[in-house]
Amino acid sequence: MTRIAFFVSIGFSVIAWGSLAAQYLWPALRHRSFAEALRPLLVLHSFRFVGLAFLVPGVVSPDLPSAFAESAAFGDLVAATLALLSLMTLRAGAIGVVAAWIFNLWGTADLLNAFYQANRTGLVPGQLGATYFIPTVMVPLLLITHGLAFRILRQPRSESSESATGGKRRQPA
């Protein structure tokens, strides 16, 4: 029953965050310039250092598989660092675009790897202790915002159209 509750929680989070992203986030971001659209997503991901909680005794069960805990914690720390580096280089032209792609590819792969490691190591939801909220509440949001970032990164960019509109994308005719 515990595993069912765990996956139902993840499912509800995907639905709730997906609805929020479709109704509020994407409409607010889609016509912004590249940098202004990615900025709030990168700020959100800069908080991924919270994954280090998987390494804190007493926060998680001593039975939490170390293969899962270490890869999730350090993968999140790298993702948070890459998010911050991307924030610093957003307006630096090609280097900012490359940094954003690297962050987004790493961050997505890290989250998918955490699910893989959890399954591979036989993680039981109760072993997560106080970090239970990370995969059930935060990971669905992070995956959805990675999807939004990929969408922004794939949009055509034109420096002249962004500067002519004050940093805002022109709305399609």
Let me know: does 10 contact 136? Beta carbons within 8 Å. yes
Task: Please list the pLDDT of the chain residue by residue as tens digits (173 residues).
Answer: 778 999 999 999 999 999 999 999 999 999 999 999 999 999 999 999 999 999 999 999 999 999 999 999 999 999 999 999 999 999 998 999 999 999 999 999 999 999 999 999 999 999 999 999 999 999 999 999 999 999 999 988 665 334 333 445 444 43
User: Residue 164 in 3-state DSSP?
Assistant: helix
Structure tokens at 24: 């509020």
pTM above 0.85, yes or no: yes
Q: For 51-94, give the secondary structure using H, E and C.
A: HHHHHCECCECCCCCHHHHHHHHHHHHHHHHHHHHHHHHCCCCH
